[in-house]
Chain A
Amino acid sequence: NAGVTQTPKFRVLKTGQSMTLLCAQDMNHEYMYWYRQDPGMGLRLIHYSVGEGTTAKGEVPDGYNVSRLKKQNFLLGLESAAPSQTSVYFCAVLQGVLATDTQYFGPGTRLTVL
C-alpha cells in the first residue's frame, strides 16, 4: 500500500472540539488525497495536494482544512467538529504522477462526533 499510515485509528469528539488527522507516506510521492467514506455514498474527496506546500479543494471541503508542510505528511484538520463529520477518513497516495497510476490507501480513521 505504498507505506501509507494514518493516525489515530479511532477518535471520539464532542461537537465543537478540534482535531488533526495525520497521513504519512514512507516514500517520496507527490500527490496525496483525503477522502471520507459514508454508508451508501462511497468515498468522496475532501482535499488533495499535488506537492509539498500545495493544497486544493475536492468535492466536500467545507469544515476541513489541510496542510502539506512536509512532502511525507498530509494533515487534515477539523476546527469545530460537527456530528455530520462522523465518518471514516481515508488518506491516499498516488504512486506516480500519471492518470494511469494507482492511488494507494491508508487503513483509515474512524471518527465519531457526539
Chain B
Amino acid sequence: GNSVTQMEGPVTLSEEAFLTINCTYTATGYPSLFWYVQYPGEGLQLLLKATKADDKGSNKGFEATYRKETTSFHLEKGSVQVSDSAVYFCALVYGGATNKLIFGTGTLLAVQP
C-alpha cells in the first residue's frame, strides 16, 4: 500500500546549520509529494510541493527534489533560523480522484541560537 517514512526526531541544530530531513515513500504510480510545517499551537501550512519526477519544490529557503529512482523527497535548507523550529510532515496524495493525503509521522526540528 501507500506509505511515507520520515526520519525520527527531534533534530536539534544550531542557528545557520544545514538541515536535511529525510523522507521516502511507497506508492503506486507517481503521486504528488508535499512538505507541510506545523508551528507550535497552529495548524499545518504547506511549505512546498512537487508534482512530478525531478521537480524541485522550494519556499522560504527550503528545497526538496522529487527523486523517482530512490522514491525520496528529502527536505533541505542551507542555513536554519530559530524561527524554523517546528514539526515538519512529508505527505503524498493517493486515492485517484479523491485526492487523499497520507502523512509521515512528522519530524520535530529545534533550532538553538
A-to-B contact residues, CB < 8 Å: 1, 31, 33, 40-45, 48, 50, 56, 58, 90, 92, 94, 97-108
Contact = CB atoms under 8 A, between A and B. Distances in A.
A61 to B, nearest CB: 13
Contacts of A107: 42-43
Given A31-B99, A33-B100, A45-B101, A99 B93 contact: yes
A48 B99 CA distance: 10
Given A99-B51, A101-B99, A106-B43, 20 more contacts: A31-B99, A33-B100, A40-B105, A41-B105, A42-B104, A42-B106, A43-B103, A44-B103, A45-B100, A50-B97, A90-B44, A92-B101, A97-B99, A98-B99, A99-B93, A102-B34, A103-B46, A105-B44, A108-B42, A108-B43
A48 B98 CA distance: 9
Contacts, number: 62
Given A33-B100, A42-B105, A48-B98, A99 B46 contact: no
Interface of B: 4, 31-32, 34, 36, 42-46, 49, 51, 89, 93, 96-106
B98 A103 contact: no
A56 B51 CA distance: 25
Nearest to B46: A102
27 contacts: A1-B43, A33-B101, A40-B105, A42-B4, A42-B89, A42-B103, A42-B104, A42-B105, A43-B44, A43-B89, A48-B98, A56-B98, A90-B43, A90-B44, A92-B101, A97-B97, A97-B99, A99-B51, A99-B96, A100-B51, A102-B46, A102-B49, A103-B101, A105-B36, A105-B43, A107-B43, A108-B42
A89 to B, nearest CB: 11
B32 A104 contact: no
B99 A94 contact: yes
A99 B32 contact: yes
B45 to A, nearest CB: 7
A23 to B, nearest CB: 11
Contacts of A97: 97, 99
A22 B47 CA distance: 26
